[in-house]
Each structure stands twice: as C-alpha cells, then as structure tokens.
Chain A
Amino acid sequence: MSFTLKKNGDVVVVDVEGQLIVGNRQELKQKVLDELEKGDRKFLIDFAQTGYIDSSGLGVLVSLSKKIREHGGELRLANLNDDLQTLFELTKLDTLFQIADTRERALEGF
C-alpha cells in the first residue's frame, strides 16, 4: 500500500495503491496536509488502484475535505470501483464529495 502525489497543473493528484485503512490513514492525511500547508488548494484522490476502504479511511477523507474547504480549496475523488461506490452510497458520503468516473473528468474545470 502506498500513496503517490503528483502535480497536474495546479491540482495535486493522489494515487491510493492498495487499501485505505486504519493502519495507513494517518500517512495519507499527513501527506495531503503537508501540501495544503505549502499552499496547494486543489486535490484529487484517485482510487483506480484501491482495494477497499474501512471506516477510518472514509473518516480521513471527510476530515481532509473539511480542512481543505476551510482553506478555500476543494477535494475531488475519482475512479471508485463498484465496491467503493457501494461503500460511499451506504454511508451517503457520495452526497458529500464530488466524485468523477475518471481522472480526466475530475480534472475538467477544476
């Protein structure tokens, strides 16, 4: 499991490889907060290579979204597989995030 951060224009794109769970959520949180601290305001988390997310992982996404908004920025999500989509629907977090089918669509108009 790893998190890779790359810049696409002024958007920080984060790839989540493996799981986003209680054992690694702090690492993702810190990496994104570090970029926010440096001045970045647009974030896209891409789940194309993600297996599953537990409640701690979902919680970190909620917390990051709030933090980024407080700094006048935005967090978008992309590439949820069917299982992740179900997870977001069960928890109604699909109503809280802007979720795109693909990375390209998420970057449109960002």
Chain B
Amino acid sequence: MTPSYVALDVEIPSDVRQIEPIVNLVTEHCKSLRLSRRQCSLNIPVALSEALSNAIIRGNHEDPRKHVRLRATVSDQALVFDVVDEGSGFDMQKESHDPTTAEYITREDGRGIFLMHQLMDRVEQFRGPQHVVRLTLNR
C-alpha cells in the first residue's frame, strides 16, 4: 500500500476567474491517476468548482486581500480536497435543500451544495480557526 501524499497545495486570490485554471491543473493531474473518465471530467471539476466558488464568494466575500487554499491528498483509497477560506463559514447543513423540487427547480441559485454531495462520496465541513470544506472521492 502506497502512503498518502499531498499532490497539490496552492493558494489563490479571492477571484472567481482563478477557479478555471486551478481546476484545469487538478483535472490534468487526475488523468495520471487510476480514475474513471467521468471522475476526471465531471465529478472532480464540477464539485471542486463549487467548493472554490463558495469559498471565494461566501467565505471570503471576494475580498482581494483574502485567499483560498486548496490541498489535494492522494491515497490508494481516495482523493481528498481541502478547500480553506478565511471566513467564519456558513451552515452548509442548514442551507442544503433539494433543488429538484417544484419549489426550487426554476430558481437560478441553490444547486452548488447539492451537486457537491451528488458528485463526491463525502462532503464535510470544519469550522474552527479556519473554515474548511473537505471533499472525498473514493478510487
């Protein structure tokens, strides 16, 4: 069994235009791992975009002085992404709803957290000195 290793540890400014390049970098790296095509082209890019977007917009309120850190850890069992912002965090549980219901389906917003849960095996939130959203995708 190979020990887990940190494949990526970067900080980006709180600017949504920074999301695509960093997601592309992660996706490229994923292709060198034993992952399915769909995991590389759908699950990871979409779920990671949602987590980074939440961190930049809701966590750091797009404050250019604040940063978002992304740490990707790879093991034989899983890929783990920690997305860390400088905000106090929001209650993800409280804001989770089913956007497929008649009440929500015609709304423009409110699909991000739902998609993270649908596309990842586990979504966790840690609120302490830092606000961390951890996405886990089993291999």
Contact = CB atoms under 8 A, between A and B. Distances in A.
Interface in A1-33: 1, 19, 21-23
B115 A96 contact: no
A83 B41 contact: yes
B53 interface: yes
Given A19-B20, A21-B49, A52-B46, A59 B108 contact: yes
B20 A21 contact: yes
Q: 8 tightest CB-CB pairs across the interface, nearest first?
A: A55-B111, A59-B108, A83-B42, A92-B100, A55-B112, A54-B49, A63-B108, A23-B16
Interface residues of A, number: 27
Q: Is the interface of A mostly helix, strand, loop or mixed?
A: helix
A62 B108 contact: yes
B105 A92 contact: yes
A93 interface: yes
Interface of B: 16-17, 19-20, 38, 41-42, 45-46, 49-50, 53, 57, 99-100, 105-112, 114-115, 118
B118 A90 contact: yes
Nearest to A54: B49
16 contacts: A21-B53, A22-B16, A22-B19, A23-B17, A52-B46, A54-B49, A59-B107, A59-B108, A59-B111, A86-B38, A87-B42, A91-B100, A91-B114, A91-B115, A93-B105, A96-B106
